[in-house]
Each structure stands twice: as structure tokens, then as C-alpha cells.
């Protein structure tokens, strides 16, 4: 924990990049002790969203705040993937029922309290497998199509995603060849 004076500017700067959200650890980095953070909770300057995650009350809301909360829950290790990433890349008309996130394979051994409405996948992703959607990471377009095909997403959505991605130049046919029936480029 930091011993420096609390700085709203520092806390705000951290929260700006995260749709107004911050963690207990980030508050401590900005000089806010637990008792001080509780004081601001009591007087309504911040609100607790879930254990260890808070939001600045007067920060403008955004459409994808649920993504930021889940990403902070994952200690910034998770990458939104599968159907969630498919929709964020605007590759399909699919309407997912839950958020999907890939976390490091080593997390399979952890006892996790997964937020409601979040499904986890376990894999180690390299830098080339990631891109950004606003404040949160998502799998790249080609990786997303391959993941969705491997997870059994309806072929009509896979075909739509491939057509969209190829037309927009997001990937080549070779990048998604194993998502095709039979697993090869045609």
C-alpha cells in the first residue's frame, strides 16, 4: 500500500482508461487507504460494484461497462473471446447469452468465483492473438473465428464471420482455414 497523499487526479486518470472503474489495488496506488475508500463509499463519491472493484459515481456511463468489470475481475489477464469477440468485431449477427473470456491455462487450477454471466475458456494467448475493443482486450478476428468454430458455434455464423472478415481484410483465408468444414483452405 502507498503511503503518499491521496490523489483524485491519479485515481481519475486510472479510472478514465477503464470506463470509470478501478480496483482496490489501484486506489491504494493513488494513495487511498481502505478506511478512506470506505469514507468515499459512505458519502457516495464511489460505489462498490463487486468485491475489490469500484466505480466513480459521476463518471459518464458507457455501453460496455460489464466488459470492464469482468476484465478487472480477471486481474487484467483475461481476453474477451469466442462469441463475445465475434460480436465486438462485428463479424456476425449472433446474439450471445453470456460473455466469454479466455484466461491463462494455469487458471484452470484456481478456485474462481466467476461473475454471473461470464463463461471462461482456458488458453495461453500470445500478443498476435489479441486486439483491443475500447478499454478491454479481445481476441483478434482470425483467432475469434477459429475459437468459435472449435467451440461448435453454428456454421451459419462461422460462414458469416468468415465472409465479413475476408471482405473487410481482417484476415486471409489461410488464417481461418481450420475453421472451414474439413479444416483446409478452398
> 37 and 77: one domain?
no
Q: Which residue has the higher pLDDT, 4 or 133?
A: 133
Tell me the pLDDT of the chain averaged across its residues: 92
> 100 and 152: one domain?
yes
Determine the structural domain holding residue 79 and report its residue range: 65-179
CB atoms within 10 A of CB 105: 12
Q: What confidence tier does 3 reach under pLDDT thresholds 50, 70, 90?
A: low
Residues 72/15, Cβ–Cβ less than 8 Å: no
Q: What confidence tier does 133 reach under pLDDT thresholds 50, 70, 90?
A: very high
> 76 and 147: one domain?
yes
> 97 and 132: one domain?
yes
Q: What confidence tier does 185 reach under pLDDT thresholds 50, 70, 90?
A: very low
Residue 2 has pLDDT above 70, yes or no: no
Q: For residue 159, give the C-alpha cell.
A: 460462414
Domain membership flag for residue 117: yes
> 104 and 29: one domain?
no
Q: Which residue has the higher pLDDT, 36 or 179?
A: 36
With a pLDDT cut of 70, the percent of the chain lying above it is 95
> 81 and 132: one domain?
yes
> 76 and 52: one domain?
no
Domain membership flag for residue 162: yes
Among 71, 69, 118, which residue's Cα sits nearest to residue 97? 118
> 25 and 74: one domain?
no
pLDDT the model gives residue 63: 84
CA 41 centroid distance within chain: 25
Domain membership flag for residue 184: no
- Determine if the pTM surpasses 0.75: yes
> 50 and 129: one domain?
no
> 82 and 153: one domain?
yes
- Residues 71-122: tens digit of each pLDDT: 999 999 999 999 999 999 999 999 999 999 999 999 999 999 999 999 999 9
> 108 and 21: one domain?
no
pLDDT the model gives residue 178: 83
Using CA atoms of 112, 115, 116, 117 in order, give the dihedral in degrees to the nearest 10: -110
What is the tally of structural domains in the chain? Answer: 2
Amino acid at each position: 500500500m502507498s503511503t503518499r497523499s491521496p490523489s483524485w487526479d491519479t485515481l481519475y486518470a486510472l479510472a478514465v482508461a477503464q470506463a470509470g472503474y478501478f480496483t482496490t489495488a489501484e486506489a491504494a496506488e493513488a494513495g487511498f487507504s481502505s478506511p478512506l475508500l470506505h469514507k468515499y463509499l459512505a458519502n457516495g463519491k464511489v460505489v462498490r460494484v463487486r468485491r475489490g472493484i469500484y466505480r466513480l459515481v459521476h463518471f459518464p456511463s458507457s455501453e460496455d461497462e460489464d466488459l470492464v468489470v469482468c476484465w478487472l475481475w480477471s486481474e487484467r489477464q483475461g481476453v474477451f473471446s469466442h462469441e463475445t469477440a465475434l460480436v465486438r468485431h462485428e463479424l456476425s449477427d449472433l446474439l450471445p447469452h453470456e460473455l466469454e473470456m479466455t484466461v491463462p491455462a494455469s487458471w484452470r487450477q484456481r478456485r474462481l468465483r466467476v461473475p454471473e454471466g461470464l463463461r471462461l475458456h482456458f488458453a495461453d494467448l500470445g500478443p498476435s492473438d489479441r486486439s483491443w475493443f475500447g478499454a478491454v482486450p479481445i481476441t483478434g478476428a482470425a483467432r475469434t473465428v477459429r475459437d468459435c468454430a472449435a467451440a461448435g458455434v453454428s456454421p451459419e455464423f462461422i460462414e458469416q464471420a468468415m465472409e465479413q472478415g475476408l471482405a473487410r481484410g481482417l484476415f486471409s483465408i489461410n488464417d481461418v482455414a481450420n475453421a472451414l468444414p474439413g479444416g483446409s483452405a478452398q
